[in-house]
Amino acid sequence: MPSDREGAERRVRTDWRDHRLLVGAVGRLEAVRHGRAAVFGFDAAGALAAARANEELGLPGTPTSAVTALMDKAALRARSNTLHPARPVSFARCGRAATLPFLTTLIGYPCVIKPRAGTEGEGVRLVRDEAEARAAARGYPEVTDLLVEEYLEGPELTVEALSRTGRHRILGWSRRLTGPRLTATGHDVPVALDPATAEAVRALVRGVLDLAGHRDGPSHTEVILTARGPRLVEAHARPGGEEFSRLLRAAHGTDVLGLALAAGLGLPDPVRSPRAAYAGLRYVDFPPGRRVDGFRPGLAAARAVPGVVRVQLEIPPGATVRRPPTGARHHAYVLATAAGADAVARVLDRAAGLMSQPEAGFANCP
């Protein structure tokens, strides 16, 4: 598969979405033939493709059944509720959009609507009353496959873990910041938790991975610290996004991707270089009609702010923003470190502000 990731030694061109083509192309490699390799996928579709390829080629990795178990949000919610039977999370399946007003009233407001097998936050809606539920129903296909569940209130964590033969090692977590529509606005590290809460988070993540049959490979789990204890939002058989991996590496030297690759290939862990720093990440989004100029001095100004580690634009050069961001897909992000949480926040606010100014590298199209 074409790869621009750091450390790639060889490129194999194939359509990884076609299982037969992927297995045929990878299976010809000498290391694969001798069982000294593994296939990795770092997003939802890639993780599933990799699991299927590893199984057919007899290579180690996350089983397909575990990947699909984590992708099925309804089944995963039912399983995770067994971990706290005294106060499970209320939810209901929805097969027709027209029934959403009834189901949301049944669950109670506010509540969350999400696709049963959705990824990257696509299609997730927070509804606060029946009027919003009726409006939401018009935004989904009439025949659909949705999950309606109670709104979980409290701080939200994103937790990275690495599993080897059924043992789940928690690599780190961040505080996930959200906007009014549940869309992530950023992440902060470290997160100070009391020992009991920290152990409850670890137990929940490990319990969910056990219930899904996830025995090997990386995982990314979202948890909310409710008044009744930690509760699962969702989990995935893959690492978090590249920007999240960079955040953990900047904060305390944890190389999530390096650890996952080493574990899958039976290699020693990469050398860890603790930073003992506070780190934060903020997403930056632009209104529709905004055009990214070639020079982009706003990005250069943001990169020059002391403490900024990385500024990443996800829009191709010269492109025009056509629509607001959806789900977990954002137009840009800025990553920074500093000696304290308040200092990180100031750096991020300043850099994000520079990136957002039209006169600093962006122009509105007529």
- pLDDT, one tens digit per residue, over 120-129 is 778 899 999 9
- pLDDT, one tens digit per residue, over 220-229 is 999 999 999 9
- pLDDT number for residue 330: 86
**Helix, strand, coil shares of the chain as percentages rounded to 5?**
35, 25, 40
CA distance linking residue 123 with residue 106, whole number of Å: 21
Q: How confident is the model at residue 361 (pLDDT cuts 50, 70, 90)?
A: very low
Who has greater pLDDT, 8 or 137? Answer: 137
The predicted model gives 12-21 an average pLDDT of: 89
Asked whether the predicted pLDDT for residue 320 surpasses 60, the reply is: yes
Who has greater pLDDT, 133 or 357? Answer: 133
The structure tokens listed for 330 are: 């954002």
Contact 327, 121 (CB under 8 A): yes
Q: Is the dihedral of CA 142, 148, 153, 156 positive or negative?
A: negative
Contact 91, 107 (CB under 8 A): yes
Helix, coil or strand: residue 248? helix
Owner of token pair 């997003």: 43
The predicted model gives 206-213 an average pLDDT of: 96
- pLDDT number for residue 144: 93
Q: What's the chain's average pLDDT?
A: 88
What residues have CB less than 8 Å from 353, skipping those under 6 apart?
Answer: none
- pLDDT number for residue 286: 83
Helix, coil or strand: residue 165? coil
* DSSP code string of 169-230: EEEEEEEEEE-TTS-EEEEEE-----HHHHHHHHHHHHHHHHHHT--SEEEEEEEEEETTEE
Asked whether the predicted pLDDT for residue 362 surpasses 60, the reply is: no
Q: How confident is the model at residue 306 (pLDDT cuts 50, 70, 90)?
A: very high
The structure tokens listed for 79 are: 């399983």
- pLDDT number for residue 9: 64
CA distance linking residue 40 with residue 38, whole number of Å: 6
Q: How confident is the model at residue 366 (pLDDT cuts 50, 70, 90)?
A: very low
Q: Is the dihedral of CA 117, 121, 123, 128 positive or negative?
A: positive
Alpha-carbon distances of 365 from 36, 186, 287, 293, 322, rounded to whole Å: 53, 28, 11, 11, 11
Contact 310, 334 (CB under 8 A): yes
Q: Residue 31 is inside which H or E element, if any?
A: helix 30-33
Please tell me which of 19-28, 78-87, 259-268 the model is most confident about, judged by mean pLDDT: 78-87
CA distance linking residue 309 with residue 233, whole number of Å: 29
Q: Residue 339 is inside which H or E element, if any?
A: none
Over pLDDT 90: what percentage of the chain? 60
CA distance linking residue 37 with residue 58, whole number of Å: 10
Q: How confident is the model at residue 356 (pLDDT cuts 50, 70, 90)?
A: confident
Contact 42, 188 (CB under 8 A): no
- pLDDT number for residue 4: 47
Who has greater pLDDT, 316 or 303? Answer: 303
- pLDDT number for residue 242: 87
Query: Parallel, antiparallel, or unpaired for β 111-115 and 91-96?
Result: unpaired
- pLDDT number for residue 289: 76
Choose among 211, 89, 234, 213: nearest CA to 159.
234
Asked whether the predicted pLDDT for residue 8 surpasses 70, the reply is: no
pTM: 0.89
- pLDDT number for residue 132: 96
The predicted model gives 124-137 an average pLDDT of: 95
